[in-house]
Amino acid sequence: MRGHAVRHGLDGRVTFAGRVSAEELADLYARCLAVFYAPVDEDFGMVPFEAFLAEKPVVTTTDAGGPLDVVADRRTGLVCEPRPDAVARACAWLREHPGDARSFGRAGKAVAERVTWDQAIEKLLS
């Protein structure tokens, strides 16, 4: 991955942090504009909910699976084709539209706040 970043002129602009502490993770969420999350056929992922609780929009791809249940295009983030150029355009769009990014993040927080153990148990028992 690092070699890929260097080849594309991103050296010094991209950090591969690896595993981080809970405190550092919270700080990273607090300081970012948005969170990129693009698993392939993920049944369910906590990353979108973590991003939403930090009021950050999520950029994901059309083949992400479960995250598409909560990442709504232009409501709680951006959903794009699973191609590097499409992801780059989505990220650039958010950078150029910070007000929309904040709005998507707030909408995501409202989604995440509705996910509770009581709600999950109620849904299982219904």
73 phi and psi angles, rounded to 5 deg: -55, 125
End-to-end CA gap in the chain: 45
Give the total residue count for the chain. 126
Question: Using CA atoms, how far apart are residues 57 and 68, in angstroms rounded to an integer?
Answer: 13
Give me the domain span that covers residue 77.
Answer: 34-125
* CB-CB contact of 73 with 94 (8 Å): no
Whether 47 and 63 map to the same domain: the answer is: yes
Whether 23 and 60 map to the same domain: the answer is: no
Whether 27 and 51 map to the same domain: the answer is: no
Other beta carbons less than 10 A from residue 115's beta carbon: 13
- Number of domains the chain is built from: 2
Reduced to 3 states (helix: H, G, I; strand: E, B; else coil), residue 42 is strand
* CB-CB contact of 15 with 39 (8 Å): no
What is the per-residue pLDDT for 1?
Answer: 63
This prediction's pTM = 0.86
Whether 100 and 62 map to the same domain: the answer is: yes
Whether 20 and 67 map to the same domain: the answer is: no
Whether 103 and 74 map to the same domain: the answer is: yes
What is the per-residue pLDDT for 11?
Answer: 72
Whether 78 and 119 map to the same domain: the answer is: yes
What is the per-residue pLDDT for 45?
Answer: 81
Q: Per-block average pLDDT, block size 10, for the chain (126 residues)?
A: 76 82 96 92 83 97 92 98 94 97 98 90 88
Question: Using CA atoms, how far apart are residues 80 and 77, in angstroms rounded to an integer?
Answer: 10
Whether 27 and 72 map to the same domain: the answer is: no
What is the per-residue pLDDT for 78?
Answer: 98
Whether 23 and 43 map to the same domain: the answer is: no
Q: What is the Cα 19 distance to its own chain's centre?
A: 17
Whether 91 and 105 map to the same domain: the answer is: yes
Whether 96 and 39 map to the same domain: the answer is: yes
Whether 88 and 102 map to the same domain: the answer is: yes
Residues 88, 93, 98, 102, CA torsion sign:
negative
